[in-house]
């Protein structure tokens, strides 16, 4: 099966979903002001960001979408290990998806 390249529509979709994920992350970061809610923060971020992340995989099942995600999250990072981690994770996700030939989640 020949893998299609990213089109402008796919890039825009990937960037918009990544920005939605960033907004969710920063909006939920305000929960950290309360020590009790700090315990719930990782659960909420994981659930809400996971939904958007899976939407990215379903809406743009092409090589490069998760790399765009990793690059944008890496650029917004201030701490160098975060930047490197996001970039390496994006590259690793693309390698694994290329190896597994972008299996469809829908069936």
pLDDT in tens, 28-73: 888 778 888 888 888 988 999 999 989 998 888 888 889 999 999 8
Helices (H), 6-64: 8-28, 35-38, 41-59
**Residue 92 pLDDT > 90, yes or no?**
yes
How far separated are the first and last CA of the chain, in Å rounded?
A: 16
**Residue 75 pLDDT > 70, yes or no?**
yes
Is pTM beyond 0.95? Reply is no
Alpha carbons 3 and 22: distance in angstroms, whole number: 28
Alpha carbons 96 and 67: distance in angstroms, whole number: 12
Q: What is the mean pLDDT of residues 80-95?
A: 90
Res. 9 pLDDT band, cuts 50 70 90: very high
Query: Residue 103: what pLDDT?
Result: 62
Give 68: exposed, middle or buried? Use CB within 10 Å, 0-12, 13-18, 19+: buried
């Amino acid at each position: 099966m020949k893998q299609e390249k990213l089109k402008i529509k796919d890039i825009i979709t990937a960037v918009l979903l990544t920005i939605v994920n960033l907004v969710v992350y920063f909006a939920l970061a305000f929960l950290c002001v309360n020590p009790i809610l700090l315990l719930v923060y990782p659960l909420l971020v994981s659930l809400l960001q996971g939904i958007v992340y899976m939407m990215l995989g379903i809406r743009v099942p092409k090589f490069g979408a998760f790399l765009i995600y990793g690059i944008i999250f890496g650029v917004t990072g201030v701490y160098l290990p975060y930047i490197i981690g996001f970039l390496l994770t994006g590259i690793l996700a693309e390698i694994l998806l290329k190896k597994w030939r972008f299996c469809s989640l829908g069936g």
